[in-house]
A and B are shown apart, each in its own frame.
Chain A
Amino acid sequence: MNIHEFQAKQLFAQFGIPVPNGKEIRTPLAAEKWAAKLNASVYVVKAQIHAGGRGKAGGVKLTKNCAEVPALAKELLGRTLVTHQTGPKGRKVRRLLVEEGADIAKELYLSLLVDRDSGWPIFIASTEGGMEIEEVAAKTPEKVLKEPVDPAVGYQGYNGRNLAYGLGLPALEPTILGSFIALLDNLYRLFMEKNASLVEINPLVITQDKQLVALDGKMSIDDNGLFKHPDIQAMRDLHEEEPLEIEATNNNLNYVKLDGNIGCMVNGAGLAMATMDLIKLAGSEPANFLDVGGGATKETVAAGFRILLKDRNVKGIFINIFGGIVRCERIAHGVIEAAKEVDIKIPVVVRLQGTNADEGRKLLQESGLKIEVATDLWEAAQKVVALTGKKRKKVEAAS
């Protein structure tokens, strides 16, 4: 789960990582009151959306004039920001972070994540703060420093020194060494205690008066660890999620919306991805990823159907089930029930294989519903693409 910058900074503050004095703002009036209280030399008004690239997209405003803050807030609130991470539709700004500006002497990059290969947490740091780290890694890999932390003993001072000297910090600013090492210690504690999968501070700045400040903050929490943290669960912002994905989550389904026009419903994540790939190979594009899981029931299949049909791009449906623990006749019952409930006007191809597949296919064939039944995977994919294509052509001819 991703959280907003202002929420990440609240957690930073709780763990002793210095952040600018700031507050979450939802109205221009609140902005006015907070700015007056803040009484800073520079005010920063930042749009809060779950996407990077906000600065370039005009989502971050600066002013030295306290009186201008409400107007800047008004300008940003309700605006749709399009960044390289939001997609062309962009994200509507509903919340702001209004904070004091910093007098920057030097910008650094710092993040912490788990290295999948070794299974160790690893700090990544660079002197090239404020830039995207992938870009720095591609152009100047020598400027990206990595410091793994042995999880058996946790963060040690030497981890911090390795990075500090590697970055040339003591030469740059001798007084900063101690606070840098302490900041990394706090960051590691935050990461482990809150089950983070990524904490990124970009930039981490050294101010003119030689203080370290986390000027930006990004944090993702491991979904599997969320159950331990009601405080972080409360930070979930449903506006940042696709409505169909929320509905899917509420029905214990794993759904990701895509841009194609063939909706797919599959049991198992790997097979679901392979099915999407197969649709592309057959000449069309998948409308979604939908994994109904190993324990699919009539109810989950029906819920999956409803979600697929709510996506207006969906012009055909491909259900691909490999019955292992899940018995195919149960899936067939679910499909029949759901199909009776909702009036399905688009082609549906169901491919059943594995446990009780024959029985499931027979149920579907005898249901009287307009459902194409298949056994062979490739044949089924080609069929759904062919049927969907025809349908689309007809619509075009009619209009």
Chain B
Amino acid sequence: MSILVNKGTRVVVQGITGKEGSFHATQCKAYGTQVVAGVTPGKAGQEVEGIPVFNTVRDAVKKTQCDTSLIFVPPAFASDAILEAADAGIRLIVCITEGIPVNDMVRVKRALRGRDVRLIGPNCPGIITADECKIGIMPGFIHKKGRVGVISRSGTLTYEAVNQLTTLGLGETTCIGIGGDPIIGTGYVDLLAMFEKDPETDAVVMIGEIGGEAEEKAAAFIKQHIRKPVIGFIAGITAPPGRRMGHAGAIITGGKGTAAEKMAALEDAGVIVVRNPAEIGKTVQGALSPRGSV
């Protein structure tokens, strides 16, 4: 088991003929993902590494029964692409695109509300179930099947944590980058609930950063509903207020969204908060070993 995606997931790549789209579609396929279709308007009939290209997601769904979309469409057109996928009956949409206007995401998020579709991202590395299915831009080789779930707002920092888990022999079930934007499709809470139910996941690593109150909300949920060990790291203890730290969503505003507040909330919920990002793996190892053996 795993969460959200597995060997059976059938993926369509929107924006497959672009530089990023074609490169990553190929990489995902090489990892073992069933990349069954691509979409670029006007390019129907072409192929990318043997993957058939369609004009619309609707056509791709009809011809290939794809159920999950991976989006590499440029920011100005990405909200359109997300809504197109949702309307065509895609059940899981993973949007990698960085730089989508917030107001576009306001409309998209509202339009998806109450519908049977889940959006991951935007501005995220995607989602991977180790040794089964990679739907995103993360380097596949650092992942190894194991017992730890990972949820993160970041990209390379997630790779860092995953690499530690793999090197220590712990491995991962599913890793999800939820995205660094202020408005994202899926937050920590839904994914924590899924990992809690997944029999193959023994612990969850949660990587957060400054800005917003998603980690505080997750903390409240963990306190009530999560029994598995959660190991947390929050980036940005040295970030000054009022400055945007790379990610559109990483900003301390009006004194809210500081790393210290988030760490305190998580600790209060029983999360093991790691101060040193080089020790995420070791901390998980400690939390998973029977008492006294490490």
Contact = CB atoms under 8 A, between A and B. Distances in A.
Interface of A: 85, 114, 116-117, 119-121, 133-134, 150-152, 192, 195, 197, 222-225, 227-228, 254, 256, 258, 266-281, 285-286, 289, 291, 294, 322-325, 353-355, 376-378, 381
B209 A273 contact: yes
A289 B156 contact: no
A134 B245 CA distance: 22
A274 B239 CA distance: 10
Given A222-B103, A258-B240, A277-B238, A120 B110 contact: yes
24 contacts: A116-B212, A120-B106, A121-B106, A133-B254, A152-B107, A195-B102, A222-B248, A223-B248, A254-B246, A266-B156, A268-B154, A268-B157, A268-B246, A269-B209, A270-B155, A271-B154, A272-B246, A273-B157, A273-B236, A274-B233, A279-B238, A291-B246, A294-B156, A354-B163
A289 B100 contact: no
Contact of A116 (B75, B182, B243): B182
B275 interface: yes
B101 A151 contact: no
List of 6 A-B pairs having minimum Cβ-Cβ separation, nearest first: A270-B154, A269-B246, A268-B156, A270-B157, A225-B101, A378-B278
Given A258-B240, A322-B156, A289 B245 contact: yes
B106 A278 contact: no
A275 B157 CA distance: 9
Contacts of A285: 238
A269 to B, nearest CB: 3
A273 B106 contact: no
Given A222-B103, A224-B102, A271 B254 contact: no
- Most chain A CB neighbours (cut-off 10 Å) among B104, B107, B244, B245: B245
A225 B255 CA distance: 25
Contacts of A268: 154-157, 246
B268 interface: no
Interface residues of B, number: 64
Contacts of A227: 76
Contacts of A276: 236, 238-239
B183 A274 contact: no
Nearest to B160: A322
B161 to A, nearest CB: 9
Contact of A224 (B99, B155, B239, B278): B99
Nearest to A327: B139
A289 B213 contact: no
Contacts of B254: 133-134
Contact of B101 (A195, A324, A353, A381): A195
Nearest to B137: A325
B159 A273 contact: no
A270 B101 contact: no
Given A116-B182, A192-B103, A269 B250 contact: yes
B242 A274 contact: no
A148 to B, nearest CB: 11
Contacts of B103: 114, 192, 195, 222, 225
B137 A324 contact: yes
Given A195-B103, A289-B239, A325-B139, A377 B183 contact: no
B150 interface: no
Contact of A378 (B182, B183, B213, B276): B276
Contact of A119 (B110, B154, B238, B275): B110
A324 B277 contact: no
- Most chain B CB neighbours (cut-off 10 Å) among A268, A270, A294, A324: A270
A289 B137 contact: no
Contacts of A378: 276, 278-279
A116 B183 contact: yes
Given A286-B238, A323-B139, A274 B102 contact: no
Interface in B117-157: 125, 137-139, 141-142, 152-157
Given A119-B109, A222-B103, A377 B160 contact: yes
A119 B180 contact: no
Contacts of B158: 270
B51 to A, nearest CB: 19
Interface string B227-256: 000000101111110111111111000110
Contacts of A266: 156
Contacts of B139: 323-325, 354-355
Contact of A269 (B107, B212, B245): B245
Contact of A222 (B101, B138, B236): B101
B142 to A, nearest CB: 7
A195 B104 CA distance: 9
A286 B238 CA distance: 8
B83 interface: no
Contact of A278 (B109, B214, B250, B276): B276
Contacts of B236: 273, 276-277
B154 A269 contact: yes
Contacts of A323: 139
B186 to A, nearest CB: 12
Interface string B186-198: 0000000000000
